[in-house]
Amino acid sequence: MAHLNLDFFKKKLEDEKTRIMKNIEAINDELATISAEDEIDDIEDLAELKVDNDRDKEVLRILLQELKDVKDALRKIEEGRYGIDEKTGKPIPLNRLLANPAARTA
């Protein structure tokens, strides 16, 4: 496998980390607004808030996992283990890393 341009991937991962953290902040703000909502007029409003809250919590769960994966990939760059398939120990194809810089497997 050709030598990876780690600076390129580190920049992509740092940009992704920033994007994810902004999204997490926005979801947390929305969840705080929903939980502070005290002018619920009827059962339909309450049900809608519950759906919004559940959806936001699921999106937040996914974002937190993405953030963990990005941080793990950045740590692997620092440790010299970036781009190695966690299951097989073989290099992850460049096209896969370009599509998902935080990829754990090929």
Looking at the DSSP bridge assignments, the partners of residue 84 are 91
In the chain, the number of structural domains is 1
CATH number, domain with residue 15: 1.20.120.910
pLDDT in tens, 72-106: 999 999 999 999 999 999 999 999 999 999 999 99
For the chain, state the CA radius of gyration.
19
Query: How far apart, in whole angstroms, are the C-alpha atoms of residue 90 and residue 30?
Result: 42
Provide the residue range defining the domain that includes 59: 6-99
**104 within domain boundaries:** no
- pTM above threshold 0.95: no
